[in-house]
Amino acid sequence: MDNLINCSRCSSDACYVEEVNSDINTYFCYGCGFQTNSVMVEGGDFYEEQIKLLPELYKDLLEKDEEGKVWIPSSTNIPQQGMIFANGPSKTDWGWAAVKAVPVAEEEKEKYPIPNQKGKFYEWRMDMTTLKMFSERDFMEALSYIEVLPE
C-alpha cells in the first residue's frame, strides 16, 4: 500500500504512506515535513533508539498523534541537490533550513574524503552560503528551493 492520506499531525492531504511489511507503515508528510512509522511509539524499542540519536531541537519538536505515533521533523539530504533540516534555538522559534549542493572543485576534493573509502572523495558538498530559512508550514517551498519539487 502506497498512497496519500490526510496527515494525523497537521491535517495536510500530502502525507505519503508506504507499507514496509504487514506490521509496519511509514508516514512522510510533505505538508509539515514530519515523519513517523507504526513502531515509533513512546516506550517502544524503536522510539527509544531514535530518541538517543536526535538533536535537542528534534526532541523538543516531537509530537504524538491520536493513534500514539510520535512524529519527528525529517532531515532530507539529496547529495546532488541539497538538504533540509529543522533549525532554530527553540520549539517556539524554529524553521526549515534549506541548503543547496554544489559540485566539489577538483582542487578541493581532498578536503572531502569519503569515510572508510581510501582515495575516494565526495563529488558534491553542501554550500552553507546558500542557506535559506523557511517557516514551519513551508516545507514544500524548501523542497522547491533545492529543486526537488518544481516551483
pLDDT tens for each residue of 4-21:
999 999 999 999 999 999
Work out how many domains the chain is built from and give that number: 2
Task: Give the pLDDT score at 150.
Answer: 79
Strand spans (E) along 31-145:
34-37, 63-64, 70-73, 76-78, 82-90, 93-103, 124-134
150, part of any domain: no
The whole domain housing 67 covers 2-73
Given this model, what pLDDT does residue 13 score? 93
- Within a domain: residue 132? yes
> Cell for 20?
514496509
- End residue of a domain, out of 73, 100, 127: 73
34-37 and 63-64 as β-strands: parallel, antiparallel, unpaired? unpaired
pLDDT at 2 (0 to 100): 59
Residues 29 and 64 in one domain: yes
Rounded to whole angstroms, the Cα distance separating 36 from 60 reads 15
- 15 and 65 share one domain: yes
pLDDT in tens, 44-53: 999 999 999 9
Inform me whether the pLDDT recorded for 1 exceeds 60: no
Grid coordinates belonging to 65 = 498523534
Q: pTM to 2 decimals?
A: 0.89
Q: How far apart are the first and last CA of the chain?
A: 29
Same domain, 131 and 81: yes
Mean pLDDT, the chain, rounded, equals 94
Give the closest residue to 82 by CA, choosing from 127, 112, 16, 46. 127
Cell digits of residue 57: 531541537
Looking at the fold, whether 51 and 22 belong to one and the same domain comes out as yes
pLDDT, mean of residues 26-45: 95
